[in-house]
Amino acid sequence: MGGAFDLSGRNAVVTGANTGLGQAIAVALAEAGAGIVAVGRSDMSETGDRVRALGRPFRAVTADLSSLEPVARVVAEAETAGRPDILVNNAGIIRRADALDFSEADWDAVMDVNLKSVFFLSQAFARRMLADERGGRIINIASLLSFQGGIRIPSYTASKSGLAGLTRLLACEWAGRGINVNAIAPGYFITNNTEALRADPERSGQILGRIPAGHWGDPRDLGGAAVFLASPAASYIHGIVLPVDGGWLAR
């Protein structure tokens, strides 16, 4: 790896890196040369094994991002691995129910992880990135629901729509100070969050029928977009929400 997409010598913090999209992003960043700090609630040893197999340093930080309690600790522990240059806000949860039946508890749980913690984690890392005037990269993992309404996931849709707006706001405030803030909007990928959809033959068929690529995304399909936005190649890109969706939004 070299040139405009080389991340050698940089350190990336990836939340929700134990499996799925977060794991794929962490491995892709490591393949491009970055050291990885993985943040999450569950065991991240598989991700660690894959990163170390590439010859990159790996550190796991256990944290539950359903509250702000661990934010300062996450930053402090991440810094023990070196200066954080890249933050990927991937951790997220989803709750499904009709809007008429949706509970306050499910609303608050999703908004706390998907939006509130993302903002305050970004704020904390941005303070570190600005302290030495070397800047950095923040990549938020948005969703197709940042553009569309969805069905039976009101708090998830609200959180991901809010995340798109937050991405633009932070870009407006921090672009001139050396921090690139952008987002990736995954389409329908094979992850734990889509297990219920994939198990429903009717709904899965409807989804596949609209994806021009003709198949669900593999988490590895997201890696290139993350490397691009984290790399020098994207130095003049600020505030975008980049769909990686097999052509879903084009149809």
- 185, 144 Cβ separation under 8 angstroms: yes
Q: What would the pLDDT profile of 221-239 be if each residue is shown by its tens digit?
A: 999 999 999 999 999 999 9
Domain boundaries, the chain: 3-242
Q: Domain 3-242: give its CATH code.
A: 3.40.50.720
DSSP state of 176: G
Q: Please state whether the predicted TM-score (pTM) of the whole model is above 0.85.
A: yes
Distance CA 41, CA 61 (A): 9
pLDDT in tens, 91-119: 999 999 999 999 999 999 999 999 999 99
Q: Which residues pair with 36 in a beta bridge?
A: 12, 58
pLDDT score recorded for residue 1 = 45
pLDDT in tens, the chain (251 residues): 458 999 999 999 999 999 999 999 999 999 999 999 999 999 999 999 999 999 999 999 999 999 999 999 999 999 999 999 999 999 999 999 999 999 999 999 999 999 999 999 999 999 999 999 999 999 999 999 999 999 999 999 999 999 999 999 999 999 999 999 999 999 999 998 788 889 999 999 999 999 999 999 999 999 999 999 999 999 999 999 999 999 999 99
Q: What is the DSSP letter of 221?
A: G
Indicate which residues carry an active-site annotation: 156
Residue 181 phi, psi dihedral angles, 5° rounding: -115, 120
Between CA 173 and CA 128 the distance in angstroms is 15
pLDDT at residue 2, rounded to an integer: 58
